[in-house]
Amino acid sequence: MSNILGKGLVEGLVVTAKNFVGSYFDGKRKYRMFNYQYPEERMKLPENSRTFPFLVYDGTPDQLRCTACKICESECPPQCIYIVKDSDANGKPLQRPRVFDIDTSVCMQCGICAEVCPFNAIKMDCDFERSAHARFDDLITHLPVLLKSNDYYHQIKSAEATRVDATRKPVKKPAAATAPTAATPKAPVAVAPAPAPINPMPTPSDISNEDERAAWQRGYQSAIGDGEIVWPPPVVVKKKEAGTKPEQSVTNAPSPAPSSGGAPWHDSGLDLAKRMEMAAGRALADKLMAAMAQLDCQACGFDCRGYAESLAAGATKDFSLCTPGEDATKNMLEKLLKEAGKL
């Protein structure tokens, strides 16, 4: 009896009739109807959905988590992120971006920037209404548009945001509370306390080593590409108040074995092994510096050279502060310090 002609046809008719009637009356079904009446109703996207990245801030917008370390910029596959590190009136770099642009017409919404960010500063949004009138004026999103509060993050992805809040290490911004806020009234947050002297980049005329020249050229190219950085860089004048804080006195103290011949490893494009090879045979501070992520992100409170010298001098004991370098840098620093008998 299972092969009556037309049985399948009738069964099909019953199915469609059930759906027809059910779309009017059956409130028990999970989905009575599938469509959202879009301008009136909006679908709440699931937590794991993602559209474009945004920058998270805690409390007020100037407490943004981003330290302009540029890891996302370098990791972004379509290169749609553009960051310029902020600096104060004296040219001293600050731990925050002055320019943070994301070209949403290029962004492919892969979420890699959110994955690599060591500060949980950049996260993927759920906002699907991003149409705009002009490609170049409206689709390149600037900092004010990108900034969204942690509350908003909780709102769209509560589970993930709670998880992040629980595991997030308090961002190391040493002595931020004691920083002289009067000096920078417009930027109350994230002022690097002590200007660790920025190592002046070698100019082409005084480079003899071929490796060093290549490294310099890479750096120069990236600087030209930015269009914001002028060469030669503004000379950083050592402040008169140097020595008023313990860390400053340390960083300004002469290194046990002063480095010589610049720092060819100071290029985040090189991997750790290559950098260590370049620094082989140098002083401890140089080797330590070569182990850093070379981003000068100041997540540790110094630039890379400053942190290395501080570690070498024993003024800073914690070797886990290089967040961008992650475990590789941490392990390498531990190994180097042990070899030197500093631990």
Partner 1 sequence: MDAIYQLIHQYCPTMPDWLTLALIVFLPIAIVMGVFLTVFAFLTWVERKSLGRIQNRRGPNRVGPVGLFQPIADGLKLLTKEDIVPAAADKLVHFLAPVLVVVPAFLVLAVVPVAKGFVAVDLNIGVLFALAVSTGSVLAQFMAGWASHNKFSLLGAMRGVAQVISYEVPMVLAAVVVLMAAGTLSSVGIVEAQRGLTGWFVCKPWGLVGFVIFQLCAMAEVARTPFDLPEAESEIVAGYHTEYSGFKFALFQMGEYVAAITMGGITVTMFLGGYLGPGCDMPKYGWLISACWFFAKLAITVVINIWARGTWPRVRVDQLLAFAWKLLLPLSLVNIVAMAVWHFAPNKLVGWVESAVLLAVAIVALVKFNAGQSFEKRSYRFTT
- 38 is a contact residue toward partner 1 (CB under 8 A): no
> Nearer Cβ to partner 1, position 37 or 167?
37
Among 1, 2, 12, 336, binds partner 1 (CB under 8 A): 12
175 within 8 A of 69, measured Cβ to Cβ: no
Burial class, 43, CB count within 10 angstroms (exposed 0-12 / middle 13-18 / buried 19+): exposed
β-pairing verdict for 147-149 and 140-141? unpaired
Q: How far is the CB of 44 from partner 1 (least distance, A)?
A: 19
- 13 is a contact residue toward partner 1 (CB under 8 A): yes
Binding part of the chain for partner 1, among 15-23, 264-272, 315-323, 325-333 by CB under 8 A, reads 15-23
Structure-token pair, residue 145? 């548009």
Among 2, 7, 27, 34, binds partner 1 (CB under 8 A): 34
66 within 8 A of 53, measured Cβ to Cβ: no
> Nearer Cβ to partner 1, position 34 or 136?
34
Among 1, 27, 28, 35, binds partner 1 (CB under 8 A): 35
Structure-token pair, residue 160? 């993930």
User: 298: closest CA among 177, 150, 198, 154?
Assistant: 198
Q: Could you give the 3-state DSSP secondary structure of residue 308?
A: helix
Among 15, 43, 237, 253, binds partner 1 (CB under 8 A): 15
Binding part of the chain for partner 1, among 23-31, 232-240, 280-288, 327-335 by CB under 8 A, reads 23-31
Binding part of the chain for partner 1, among 8-16, 108-116, 214-222, 223-231 by CB under 8 A, reads 8-16
193 within 8 A of 301, measured Cβ to Cβ: yes
User: 275: closest CA among 285, 263, 261, 290?
Assistant: 290
- First-to-last alpha carbon distance for the chain, in angstroms, is 85
Cis peptide before 232 (omega within 30 of 0): yes
216 within 8 A of 269, measured Cβ to Cβ: no
- 42 is a contact residue toward partner 1 (CB under 8 A): no
> Nearer Cβ to partner 1, position 20 or 136?
20
Q: How far is the CB of 35 from partner 1 (least distance, A)?
A: 5
- 24 is a contact residue toward partner 1 (CB under 8 A): yes
Q: How far is the CB of 154 from partner 1 (least distance, A)?
A: 33
Among 1, 5, 230, 235, binds partner 1 (CB under 8 A): 5
Element spanning 38, H or E: none
Q: How far is the CB of 38 from partner 1 (least distance, A)?
A: 11
Number of H helices, E strands in the chain: 13, 6
> Nearer Cβ to partner 1, position 7 or 44?
7
Binding region for partner 1 (CB under 8 A): 3, 5, 9, 12-13, 15-17, 19-20, 22-24, 31-35, 37
